[in-house]
Amino acid sequence: MKFMFTEDPQIKKLLASNETYDIVLGEFNLYQELNSVWIHKFNATAITLLPLGDYFFANEFNGLPDNPAYMVDWSSFFTDKMSFVERLINTVDFIGSTVVNYYYISVNQHIANELAIYPGWETRPPLVNLMSDVALVLVNSHHSVGYAYPKAPHVKEIGGMTLTGSTELPQDLKSFMDNATDGVIYISLGSNVDMNHMTRGKIEEFAKRFRSLKQRVLLKWFGNAFPKIDDPNIRIQRWFPQLGILDTSKQF
Give the closest residue to 35 by CA, choosing from 123, 134, 161: 134
pLDDT, tens digit, 9 for 90 and up, residues 58-109: 777 777 777 888 888 777 888 888 899 999 998 998 888 889 889 999 999 9
More confident residue, 54 or 192: 54
Q: Write down the pLDDT at residue 59.
A: 77
Residue 250 binned pLDDT confidence (cut-offs 50, 70, 90) = low
Of 224 and 62, the one with more pLDDT: 62
CB 93 within 8 A of CB 55: no
The model's pLDDT over 109-131, given as tens digits with 9 standing for 90+, comes to 999 999 999 999 999 999 999 98
Confidence of residue 23 (pLDDT cuts 50, 70, 90): very high
Percent residues over pLDDT 70 in the chain: 94
Q: Under a CB-based contact definition with an 8 Å cutoff, are residues 27 and 48 in contact?
A: yes
- This prediction's pTM: 0.65
**Cα gap 238→226, rounded to integer Å:** 8
Query: Which residues have a Cβ under 8 Å from the Cβ of 46 and sit 6 or more positions away?
Result: 23, 24, 26, 28, 36, 39, 130, 133, 134, 135
